[in-house]
Amino acid sequence: MSQPDRKRVLLPEEQEVFLERIYGWEIKLDGLHRILEFSDFEEAFNFITEVAEIAEELNHHPDWSNSWNKVDITVTNHQAGGVTEIDFVLCERINRLVGR
């Protein structure tokens, strides 16, 4: 499998094609966005910990916030100045954690 492109910002129509692979995510002005809700704070925090491990492995880190049982995530490539293929790879990996 080839490495995802971390440098080229995807065109809007390319992002739409990739979006079909990542259930539950939306394209926003600041990147790919999803809000996940868990049963309680501990489950949300455990999810955050697992995502942090994936982010370190990929060397690509989301912007996020946590309020009790909700995790609000935005994924974008700040260095490239927009959404690149690596963003979709991270979203796919996050979706695997939650079963979609």
pLDDT tens series, the chain, 100 aa:
578 888 999 999 999 999 999 999 999 999 999 999 999 999 999 999 999 999 999 999 999 999 999 999 999 999 999 999 999 999 999 999 998 7
90, 50 contact by CB (below 8 A)? no
pTM of the model: 0.94
CATH ID of 12-98, from 3.40.50.970, 3.30.420.40, 3.30.1360.20, 1.10.10.10: 3.30.1360.20
Rounded Cα gap, residues 54 and 67, in angstroms: 21
DSSP-derived pairing of the beta strands 31-37 and 26-28: antiparallel
Domain ranges within the chain, ordered by starting residue: 12-98
- pLDDT (0 to 100) of residue 30: 93
